[in-house]
Amino acid sequence: GESVGLHLPTLSVQEGDNSIINCAYSNSASDYFIWYKQESGKGPQFIIDIRSNMDKRQGQRVTVLLNKTVKHLSLQIAATQPGDSAVYFCAERSAGGTSYGKLTFGQGTILTVHP
Amino acid sequence: DGGITQSPKYLFRKEGQNVTLSCEQNLNHDAMYWYRQDPGQGLRLIYYSQIVNDFQKGDIAEGYSVSREKKESFPLTVTSAQKNPTAFYLCASSRRSTGDVDTGELFFGEGSRLTVL
């Protein structure tokens, strides 16, 4: 879930396990959600997105689930690898605004994968 | 290859000095953004621009200025009025939505780390 203060949530898993990273969003009017991965000292990279008219979307080794009732978003990573170690951010876009990618980001979750 | 280039990667500034961070993109994107990232926190929007010669304040614009004279370029100036400028700065761009093609995906640069001495 989202963190409070300066301490990010952390998730430690063994290589090969499945990982689930959670995100609670605040705006019930948000219509579009994205997951980003950020490695140390680098910019965030797009992982997967989902629109509010969907509950689930699958990519390669990743699945995003959206529960609008409780305003919850999750990212599932199958067969987690050491290269998946990074900070993962969810982002939401409020409906009714522009469609130019003006997003609100969560504080992030640190994923550590142990060999 | 297409992408976003930020420079410099590391920058040190004395208190009271203005510094300008460069951001260039060759993705032909209409919209560009500047975010600030502090340790243990998410990204906060400083300024964004949807089109050349136009830009809007984000959530934490005080102490910063931008310009958008060219589609490819969106430099950020951190002025002496910014009280706590030490941070990691990220530039991003996105496509303008057209018809049914609508994406909010941002493409990020590699970031510039500013340290005030």
Res A100 pLDDT > 60: no
- Amino acid of residue A95: A
- Judging contacts by C-beta atoms under 8 Å, the chain B residues touching residue A107 are 40-42
Give the closest of B45, B94, B110 to A42, CB-based.
B110
**What are the tens digits of pLDDT across the range A38-56?**
999 899 999 999 999 999 9
- Judging contacts by C-beta atoms under 8 Å, the chain A residues touching residue B108 are 36, 43-45
Give the closest of B39, B105, B111 to A34, CB-based.
B105
Q: Which of 41-100 (B) contact A at CB < 8 A?
A: 41-45, 48, 50, 90, 92, 94, 96-97
Query: DSSP string spanning A37-87?
Result: EE-TTS--EEEEEEETT-SEEE-SSEEEEEETTTTEEEEEESS--GGG-EE
Interface test with chain A among B10, B29, B106, B110, by most A beta carbons within 10 Å: B106
Q: Would you say A99 and B97 are in contact if contact means Cβ atoms under 8 Å apart?
A: yes
Q: Would you say B114 and B19 are in contact if contact means Cβ atoms under 8 Å apart?
A: yes
- Judging contacts by C-beta atoms under 8 Å, the chain A residues touching residue B97 are 99-100
The whole-number pLDDT of residue A41 equals: 87
d(CA A106, CA A23): 7
B23 to chain A, minimum CA–CA distance in Å?
13
d(CA B1, CA B97): 23
d(CA B98, CA A26): 28
**CA–centroid distance for B83 within its chain:** 18
Interface contact A101-B92, CB threshold 8 A: yes
Give the closest of A6, A42, A101 to B40, CB-based.
A6
The whole-number pLDDT of residue A5 equals: 41
Interface contact A99-B97, CB threshold 8 A: yes
The whole-number pLDDT of residue A96 equals: 59
Interface contact A3-B94, CB threshold 8 A: no
Beta bridge mates, A50: A33
The whole-number pLDDT of residue B99 equals: 39
**What are the tens digits of pLDDT across the range B14-68?**
988 999 999 999 999 988 999 999 987 789 999 999 889 999 999 999 999 999 9
d(CA A109, CA A83): 15
The whole-number pLDDT of residue B106 equals: 86
Give the closest of A5, A44, A98 to B108, CB-based.
A44
B112 to chain A, minimum CA–CA distance in Å?
9
Query: DSSP string spanning B45-88?
Result: EEEEEEETTEEEE-TT-TTEEE--SBTTB--EEE-TT-S---EE
Res A7 pLDDT > 70: no
**What are the tens digits of pLDDT across the range A20-29?**
999 999 888 8
Res A86 pLDDT > 90: yes
Interface contact B111-A98, CB threshold 8 A: no
Which has more confidence, B106 or B36? Answer: B36
Query: Phi and psi at residue B102, in whole multiples of 5°?
Result: -140, 115
The whole-number pLDDT of residue A50 equals: 93
Q: Would you say B11 and B114 are in contact if contact means Cβ atoms under 8 Å apart?
A: yes
Query: Phi and psi at residue B41, in whole multiples of 5°?
Result: -125, 165
d(CA A103, CA B106): 9
As given in the structure block, the two tokens for residue A68 are 């609008």
